[in-house]
Amino acid sequence: METTQMRPVSETARNSKLQKFFIDQLEDIYWAEQKLVKTLPKLEEAASSNDLKQAFNSHLQETKNHVSRLEKIFDMIGEPAQAKKCHAMAGITEEGEEIIDETEEHTAQRDTGLIFAGQKAEHYEIASYGGLVQLAKTLGYTNVAEVLSVTLAEEKKADSTLTRIAEGGINDQAAAEPEEE
């Protein structure tokens, strides 16, 4: 597929504060996706449930594609692909590491915590991609909005998968695990 450099609706829009904000948010989610590429294997390794392990592994492959798509988007708008630290995702992934450190291996409690951490990441991404789709449309980047919408749909699906796994018994199993004294 040939990438074509796109321009916003007007020269004014291209030089607007909104354009700058859009690029800043692309750089933010680009960093977040790269961080998740490093974090998802840790979550997969820490999980006990085969379904949860598979969900993290599957989403890792999607996340690698998200990174590639973002690089394509930067190219489409004629900007260099640069990452800017996403403090929100840094905090969310740090919480995930704390859950691993503070829960016992091979427990449903840990799996519940990992699902919780995964859903926090997914909800942040859903909010980010949803906002980016709207900004892309406002700026006249119709093709960019379409690409971002594909990623948004995948993030929503990943969130639904985690919910299904939680409701499929892991939360009930965690509720039945006795608290250690």
Indicate the pLDDT class of residue 179, thresholds 50, 70 and 90. confident
Which CA distances in Å does 102 have to 52, 59, 118, 143, 173?
19, 24, 16, 44, 18
Structural domains for the chain? 27-175 (1.20.1260.10)
C-alpha 152/C-alpha 98 separation (Å) is: 27
Indicate the range of 6-15, 113-122, 160-169 predicted with least confidence.
6-15
Structure tokens at 17: 């504060």
Mean predicted confidence (pLDDT) in 101-118 = 95
pLDDT greater than 70 at residue 125: yes
User: How much of the chain, in percent, has pLDDT values that exceed 90?
Assistant: 85
Tens of pLDDT, residue by residue over 126-158, are: 999 999 999 999 999 999 999 999 999 999 999
Tell me, yes or no, if the pTM score tops 0.85.
yes
pLDDT reported for residue 181: 58
pLDDT greater than 80 at residue 10: no
Sign of CA dihedral 162, 168, 172, 178: negative
pLDDT greater than 70 at residue 102: yes
Question: What residues contact residue 78 under an 8 Å CB cut-off, 6+ apart?
Answer: 5, 6, 7
